[in-house]
A and B are shown apart, each in its own frame.
Chain A
Amino acid sequence: MSHSSRKKLLLMGRSGSGKSSMRSIIFSNYSAFDTRRLGATIDVELSHLRFLGNMTLNLWDCGGQDVFMDNYFTNQKDHIFKMVQVLIHVFDVESKSINKDIEIFIKSLTNLQKYSPGAKIFVLLHKMDLVQIDKREELFNIMMDKLQKISNPYQFKLIGFPTSIWDESLYKAWSQIVCSLIPNINLFNSNLIKFNSILDAEEIILFEKTTFLVISSTASIQQQQQLQDSNGGLMNNNNSTSTSVEELDPKRFEKISNIIKTYKQSISKLRTNFRNLIIRGSNGNNFYIDILTENMFIMIVLKDKPQLENNYIQQHEELLILDNIRAARKWFEKIENSGSS
């Protein structure tokens, strides 16, 4: 209910760079194919999205044609650039006029510095699928170096992502953008670790319910801790699980988001939604995806213990974990609600 739970996100970039497509895929359940139907955005399209219950994202999708753009930087500039939490600037990698793109980027940075200097800047190099695979990384680095240099005088630190609507990179980018807005993320993290100490899981991941963006996961927390440790010069590698985590597919979060969203779309044909999904994997991994709170799903990956060969014991363990999830609900609901007060 407080004012801080309303977040203003500016989504900018030149026309045709794919801004509205992103928004439709992440927040309106479009498939990548469906986005062809989208026409040009006229002026600014506002959408209010509820995220994690008490957080409202006001997404300002700014149409990118020159007429509108000029307007943003002249007449409407205090209206547009006031109280901005996040600027998401989209660059089309195939764009013919990069200089023009950058010029607009600089203009919005200038305005942001004036009206909301605390804003976070995210840069998305979009339509990466059109670039040859082996050239993508190089192109991304060159582009980011250039943009960082440009934005240095404005004292903004850029966070960049290569994205494409045809793979999971879009989820990765948006999940990080949105996570940067969650105020009590540390509480979520600490509770997730606590929960893991009870379950001893391979991995636990929290998802937002409607968008299925990743909020938090044990792997990412461990990674952060490791970073801090190594920065502090401690370098103690006693954490044996962290080594195994590194061998997992680094893109798995986004892939899971993608898979579950497909699943949700698939069963919408039966006019229903899913409550949980339990997979006993072919290699001894057990997956549990369940509703955690009104706004969150949890996914738990468990390694099978060799002594549990017996079918009945296994079934009991399944119930035990579902019970644990149910018990954890109360914690996480509390955290969620505490964020609003």
Chain B
Amino acid sequence: MEGRKDTNATILLMGLRRGGKSSICKVVFHNMQPLDTLYLESTSKPTTEQFSSLIDLSVMELPGQLNYFEPNYDSERLFSSIGALVYVIDSQDEYLNALTNLSMIIEFAYKVNPKINIEVLIHKIDGLSEDYRIDAQRDIMQRTGDELLDLGLEGVQVSFYLTSIFDHSIYEAFSRIVQKLIPELSSLENMLDNLVQHSSIDKVFLFDVNSKIYVATDSSPVDIQTYEVCAEFIDITIDLDDLYLENDRNRNARMNKNNTDEQPHQGKELKSISHLSNGYILYLKQMIRGLALVALIRNDDTTRTMNRTIDINSAGGTDVSNLDDNQDKSLAIIDYNVNLFKESLMKIWESSRLNAEQHGNNINHTTSNGNGTDHSSLPI
């Protein structure tokens, strides 16, 4: 019992045969590794997150028909210990079977564990045309609703996602699912909101660098294209950095063999800025523990109009320096604010670690201290 209890961030991936569960596992699991390590030690404020891994995806293969599906004691314990149930529906296949299967699983799981998050992935939508996707989603939502009504389970919250592993939708869906499991991260969202307000940022993500799953974002709606660009910006920055990193590591290894192993990666924080020709700026800064903050910064209207005139005669004299001055100023403010954000992130992490050591398992009440410091220290 004790061992089971501390895995409340387990995701159980279920679905009919050939629904795409294992592929999702590969895609997400492969990427999830660094995120796991992140939550082991960094901002895991609630001690309930102290496991060997944040998210255990265990694939439970179900037979095509549910008639003989009689969950035994084991699966009962399993359901009671998980935080989210992800059900995968193959949207390219006949899904009526899957829906009856789903409602039976929900009925059972809800009885065992009413706090469970139920997520439905309408999967493999890459093969459907744009119109048909919405039709399929509406149909599936309606039918599940009806089934649950028949079973007398109106109160159950079920979330639906359209996913495909061939684009970023699966990351988007999993980002949402992961975020739901860690409600303590809402303080992070508050901090990001603050950052956005004071820095003329369009959109900001807190990414896990290796998985491209975003741990938090500000409260403005997520535009999938912005997400993609930001995720790819991480790749590009790291790829370029790596090209010249490797040789340095070799050189260090030759010159002084003793001191190298601790240094190379934590030497300096990675940071990259790219000006786009429509006046936007992509901004990346490394945070703690494999996290990176990526922001899309818009310029003020004045700068943007200036921009346009300058693009025409790009080598012009005074205008250019004027524009750059303006941009440099706004960047300096953003730099400052991001540094504050980073500091408070570290504070959250440290305090959570301290609390974890002191109180062991029973704390849930330290949520707001990191938040408060951030509020007051942002320049307006």
A and B found bound together: yes
A282 and B228 form a contact (CB under 8 A)? no
Identify which of A244, A262, A270, A304 contacts B251 (C-beta below 8 A): A244
A183, chain B: closest CB distance, angstroms? 24
Which residues of the other chain, A, contact B241 by a CB distance below 8 angstroms? 279, 281-283, 285, 287
A170, chain B: closest CB distance, angstroms? 17
Q: How far is B244's CA from A252's CA once the two chains are assembled, in angstroms?
A: 8
Report if A143 contacts B (CB, 8 A): no
Q: How would residues 230 to 258 of chain A score, 1 for a CB under 8 Å from any chain B CB and 0 otherwise?
A: 00000000000000100111001001100
Q: How far is B225's CA from A262's CA once the two chains are assembled, in angstroms?
A: 15
B320 and A282 form a contact (CB under 8 A)? no
Q: How far is B237's CA from A336's CA once the two chains are assembled, in angstroms?
A: 30
A270 and B243 form a contact (CB under 8 A)? no
Report if B232 contacts A (CB, 8 A): yes
Number of interface residues of A (CB under 8 A): 43
B267 and A284 form a contact (CB under 8 A)? yes
B314 and A279 form a contact (CB under 8 A)? no
Which residues of the other chain, A, contact B239 by a CB distance below 8 angstroms? 255, 259
Q: How far is B268's CA from A274's CA once the two chains are assembled, in angstroms?
A: 25
Identify which of A256, A277, A281, A329 contacts B268 (C-beta below 8 A): A281
A256 and B276 form a contact (CB under 8 A)? no
Given A278-B273, A282-B268, A283-B267, A272 and B314 contact (CB-CB distance below 8 Å): no
B225 and A269 form a contact (CB under 8 A)? yes
Q: How far is B241's CA from A279's CA once the two chains are assembled, in angstroms?
A: 8
Which residues of the other chain, B, contact A202 by a CB distance below 8 angstroms? 244
B320, chain A: closest CB distance, angstroms? 7
Report if B33 contacts A (CB, 8 A): no
Identify which of B245, B315, B332 contacts A285 (C-beta below 8 A): B245
Which residues of the other chain, A, contact B236 by a CB distance below 8 angstroms? 259-260, 262-263, 266
Report if A322 contacts B (CB, 8 A): yes
Which residues of the other chain, A, contact B245 by a CB distance below 8 angstroms? 281-283, 285
A282 and B267 form a contact (CB under 8 A)? yes
Which residues of the other chain, B, contact A330 by a CB distance below 8 angstroms? 315
Looking at B239, B240, B273, B324, which has the most chain A CB atoms within 10 Å of its CB?
A: B240
Number of interface residues of B (CB under 8 A): 44
A258, chain B: closest CB distance, angstroms? 9
Looking at A248, A281, A315, which has the most chain B CB atoms within 10 Å of its CB?
A: A281
Given A252-B243, A269-B228, A282-B268, A319 and B286 contact (CB-CB distance below 8 Å): no
Looking at A252, A270, A271, A329, which has the most chain B CB atoms within 10 Å of its CB?
A: A270
Which residues of the other chain, A, contact B265 by a CB distance below 8 angstroms? 282
Main secondary structure of the interface of A (DSSP, over half): mixed
Given A256-B243, A259-B239, A274 and B232 contact (CB-CB distance below 8 Å): no
Report if B306 contacts A (CB, 8 A): no
A122-170: which have CB < 8 Å to B? none
A279 and B240 form a contact (CB under 8 A)? yes
B277 and A272 form a contact (CB under 8 A)? yes
Beta-carbon nearest neighbor of A268 in chain B: B229
Beta-carbon nearest neighbor of B241 in chain A: A281
Q: How far is B365's CA from A60's CA once the two chains are assembled, in angstroms?
A: 72
A280 and B272 form a contact (CB under 8 A)? yes
Report if A275 contacts B (CB, 8 A): yes
Report if B278 contacts A (CB, 8 A): yes
Q: How far is B314's CA from A7's CA once the two chains are assembled, in angstroms?
A: 29
Report if B269 contacts A (CB, 8 A): yes
Which residues of the other chain, A, contact B274 by a CB distance below 8 angstroms? 274-278
Q: How far is B285's CA from A69's CA once the two chains are assembled, in angstroms?
A: 55
A301-341: which have CB < 8 Å to B? 301, 304, 315, 319, 322, 326, 329-330, 333
Q: How far is B324's CA from A322's CA once the two chains are assembled, in angstroms?
A: 10
Given A266-B233, A315-B332, A248 and B247 contact (CB-CB distance below 8 Å): yes
Report if A291 contacts B (CB, 8 A): yes
Which residues of the other chain, A, contact B233 by a CB distance below 8 angstroms? 263, 266
Q: How far is B278's CA from A269's CA once the two chains are assembled, in angstroms?
A: 12
Which residues of the other chain, B, contact A272 by a CB distance below 8 angstroms? 276-278, 280
Report if A267 contacts B (CB, 8 A): yes
Report if A228 contacts B (CB, 8 A): no
Q: How would residues 258 to 294 of chain B score, 1 for a CB under 8 Å from any chain A CB and 0 otherwise?
A: 0000001101111111111110101000100000000
Which residues of the other chain, A, contact B146 by a CB distance below 8 angstroms? none
Q: How far is B268's CA from A282's CA once the two chains are assembled, in angstroms?
A: 5
Report if A224 contacts B (CB, 8 A): no
Q: How far is B251's CA from A244's CA once the two chains are assembled, in angstroms?
A: 9
A155, chain B: closest CB distance, angstroms? 40
Identify which of B232, B240, B244, B275 contacts A276 (C-beta below 8 A): B275
Report if A273 contacts B (CB, 8 A): yes
Looking at A252, A274, A277, A282, which has the most chain B CB atoms within 10 Å of its CB?
A: A282
Q: How far is B332's CA from A260's CA once the two chains are assembled, in angstroms?
A: 26
A281 and B270 form a contact (CB under 8 A)? yes
Report if B76 contacts A (CB, 8 A): no
A176, chain B: closest CB distance, angstroms? 20
B243 and A249 form a contact (CB under 8 A)? yes
Beta-carbon nearest neighbor of B331 in chain A: A315
B328, chain A: closest CB distance, angstroms? 7
Beta-carbon nearest neighbor of A322 in chain B: B324
Report if B248 contacts A (CB, 8 A): yes
Q: How would residues 60 to 102 of chain B score, 1 for a CB under 8 Å from any chain A CB and 0 otherwise?
A: 0000000000000000000000000000000000000000000
B210, chain A: closest CB distance, angstroms? 14
B229 and A269 form a contact (CB under 8 A)? yes
B291, chain A: closest CB distance, angstroms? 14
Which residues of the other chain, A, contact B366 by a CB distance below 8 angstroms? none
Identify which of B225, B226, B268 contacts A283 (C-beta below 8 A): B268
Q: How far is B248's CA from A301's CA once the two chains are assembled, in angstroms?
A: 13
A240, chain B: closest CB distance, angstroms? 13
A-B contact pairs, 19 of them (CB 8 A): A247-B247, A247-B250, A252-B244, A255-B239, A256-B240, A270-B276, A270-B278, A277-B273, A277-B274, A278-B272, A279-B237, A279-B241, A281-B270, A282-B245, A283-B241, A285-B241, A287-B240, A319-B328, A329-B315
Known pairs A247-B250, A282-B270, A285-B241. 12 more at Cβ < 8 A? Answer: A202-B244, A248-B244, A263-B236, A270-B226, A278-B274, A279-B237, A279-B272, A283-B248, A284-B248, A284-B268, A315-B332, A319-B324
Q: When A and B form their complex, which 9 residue pairs have the shortest distance between CB atoms, in order from nearest?
A: A279-B272, A272-B278, A266-B232, A277-B274, A280-B271, A275-B275, A282-B270, A247-B247, A273-B277
